[in-house]
Amino acid sequence: MRSFSKEEKSWMWYDWGHSAYSIIISTAVFPLFYKAAAEDAGVSAANSTAYLGYAIAISTFILALLGPIMGTIADYQGFKKTFFAGFSLLGIVATALLTFIPNESWELLLVCYMFIAIGSAGSNVFYDAFLVDVTDDKRMNKVSARGFALGYIGSTIPFIISIVIILLAGQEVLPISVTAASQISFFITALWWGVFTLPMLRNVHQKHYLNREPRIVANSFKRLYETLKQIKQHRAIFLFLLAYFFYIDGVGTIITMSTAYGTDLGIESTDLLIILFVTQVVAAPFALLYGRLADRFSGKIMLYVGICVYIFVCIYAYFMKSAFDFWVLAMLVATSQGGIQALSRAYFARMVPKENANRFFGFYNIFDKFASILGPLLVGVTAQLTGHTSMGVFSLVILFIVGIVILMRVPEPMTMNKVDKPG
């Protein structure tokens, strides 16, 4: 970490803190908590998984609508950090509120989860856009990959604490229910997320911006409209976003619904939590490796590698029947999930004009979030129609194939014509 500036390190610390949400709320403890609550209420496994997919789809649809206009406003001086802080606070507070929702209220759990998802994803729009403010083009692969690696490592600490509390619950050393232990883990997540947001708020500042002018909101809509009118001038950027739309859809769906899928296969909760923990540990060095290899071979080549790994993951998931198979699947995901996300973020950041980074990361977000609608809906509908979640996971293969085909048509950032990078 000595080779990184204070701004770069402060930016990375947010990944360290926010990733606790990713594993405890999005992937591990909350899905198990929710699935148990739904089962107690008489909801079938296939239906509860489908409802979770629908909740993810609704929350991401809301943010997808807000992303571009908020990003355009945030291009003006001082707005980027305000939006970042607001969404972070929403996610942190909503996570803390999970502590007080009774487990039998499975519908209320889903509603709260939707607010958390909006806060998390909303803050990430501006967090990702801050990459252009904390480092330069040559260091973006390294800084972005290091952020993801720290996120994986940092998330394991509150995860371990939470799992120990859950495993000890009901025993003499910790005479509380597993439900109460899970709720404590939600509060730990909120606290961890909040504490490590502070360095970002204190040390990272918007360096690339537009000067404020009268009627900011009205002018933001006008700038957004002009961007859409000039889409041909941004052809390379929007072509990348289209490719990203498809392949990140599969990545996000596998991440957010993996625990529910494992539960449907009959894998014990304890085994799932251990697998997810090891996945976080393994993912950290692979995220760094992707960053190093991207500097050597190019980010685009490594994106191809990551997408191909995920295609194999979807095919393997279709035939998965045991906990061992889930172990294999999780380790394959661990090799590429951080790398493909980090390099996509860095690749896009090098393509966009710095003073308009928020506007373009707003579009980055909308493509990301609309993709997150399609994947969970596809898995949910397929699971209900066939009665087998594995069919939904297998169907994600086509998204990765379409993504890689479109990505082949996207030029490297350094070879882009100036017309592709308007000011």
Specify the pLDDT at position 2: 74
| Burial environment of residue 3 by CB neighbours within 10 A (0 to 12, 13 to 18, 19 or more) | exposed
Tell me the domains of the chain and their CATH numbers.
6-420 (1.20.1250.20)
Specify the pLDDT at position 84: 92
Specify the pLDDT at position 372: 63
Q: In this prediction, what percent of the chain has a pLDDT beyond 70?
A: 88
Specify the pLDDT at position 323: 76
Specify the pLDDT at position 12: 93
Residue 234: pLDDT above 90? no
Specify the pLDDT at position 71: 73
Residue 420: pLDDT above 80? no
Q: In this prediction, what percent of the chain has a pLDDT beyond 90?
A: 20
Specify the pLDDT at position 357: 72
Q: What is the pLDDT of residues 17-37, one digit of tens each?
A: 998 888 888 777 888 888 888
Specify the pLDDT at position 419: 38
Residue 74: pLDDT above 80? no
The dihedrals phi and psi of 102, each to the nearest 5 degrees, come to -65, 145
pLDDT-based confidence at residue 174 (cuts at 50, 70, 90) = confident
Specify the pLDDT at position 423: 36
Specify the pLDDT at position 220: 67
